[in-house]
Amino acid sequence: MGDIDRKRYAAVRALEGLGAVWKDGAWQDVPEVAVRRGFLAAAEALYQELVGYCEEFAGAPEGSELERDFERVMDMLQAYEAERAKLAG
């Protein structure tokens, strides 16, 4: 077996490991993978929105309701970042 064949086999294993399947002459996502990707994209969009809010909250007066909102949003962002880091592995 030549080097190009080894690379092809490795590429197929990698694609299958990512959840892709060969169907009708093309690589396709299985429905569960497509749903997961959609969910992750939506979660990332929400994350970016919360980051924008934090930029607005930064510098809020100490002890204010705005500061408490900032702290709550920061807690959410940090929790999301921790889970996202686990996925990135």
- CA-nearest of 77, 46, 43 to 69 is 77
Q: Hey, what are 70's tokens?
A: 């900032």
What's the pLDDT score for residue 53? 83
The HSE-up count of residue 16 (CA atoms within 13 Å, CB side) is 8
Question: What pLDDT, on a 0 to 100 scale, did the predictor assign at position 14?
Answer: 85
Domains: count for the chain: 1
Tokens 């809010």 identify what position?
53
Query: Do 36 and 59 touch, CB atoms closer than 8 A?
Result: no
Q: Note the pLDDT tens digit of each residue in 4-62.
A: 888 888 888 888 887 788 889 988 877 777 777 788 888 999 999 989 888 888 888 99
Cross-strand bridge partners of residue 21: 28
Domain range enclosing 7: 3-88
Q: In the prediction, which pLDDT does 78 show?
A: 94
pTM: 0.56
Alpha-carbon radius of gyration of the chain: 21
